[in-house]
Amino acid sequence: MSETRWLSPDEQRTWRAYLTAHRLLLDEIDAQLRRDSGIPHAYYEILVRLSETPGRTLRMSVLAEGTRVSASRLSHAITRLEERGWVRREDCPTDRRGQLAVLTDDGFAALAAAAPGHVEAVRRALFDALDAEQVQSLGTISRILADHLDATGGETGPPEA
């Protein structure tokens, strides 16, 4: 066990500001979607992915990876979306273990109805507050972090020797 690399006061301020900003931002987005369309943001993202795929169909595993959601969480989510008639499950023709999630017409319509309000909320909450350079920075930093975390995610670090 090595010495803890504590955060400097500056790093700590940054980390806390980050947590605060993100909580406020995502709470706002999620609340708007639930309030106006009855969809949690996590479900909205699933619907979006499906809607953008040719055939509006994706395998569970692909959908899970794309949305960065655990298999379990996705399975539960798809079950709820099926109950609303927005998604339907089909057997995968090439792999009998597989399941396909298919966006229904009702699901597509629900998404289309929710989109304008959601986009407006994102714009107001995020983009309206930042200038072009800051938006650029945020994009760069987000991409670096996403790559970094995709690569190192769940790893324990190099062995001691």
Footprint on this chain of DNA (rule: CB under 7 A):
27, 30-31, 34-35, 40, 42-43, 59-61, 64, 69-80, 89, 92, 95-99
Cβ–Cβ under 8 Å, residues 131 and 123 = no
Please spell the DSSP secondary structure of 43-64, one letter per residue.
HHHHHHHHHHSGGGEEEHHHHH
Cβ–Cβ under 8 Å, residues 99 and 89 = yes
- Residue 129 CB, shortest distance to DNA, in Å, is 21
Partner interacting with residue 105 (select from DNA, a second copy, none; CB below 5-8 Å by kind): none
The reply to whether 112 sits near a second copy by the rule CB under 8 A is: no
Give SS3 for 87: strand
Cβ–Cβ under 8 Å, residues 117 and 36 = yes
Residues forming contacts to a second copy in the complex (CB under 8 A) are: 4-7, 10-11, 13-15, 17-28, 45, 68, 115-116, 119-120, 122-130, 134-135, 137-146, 148-150, 152-154, 157
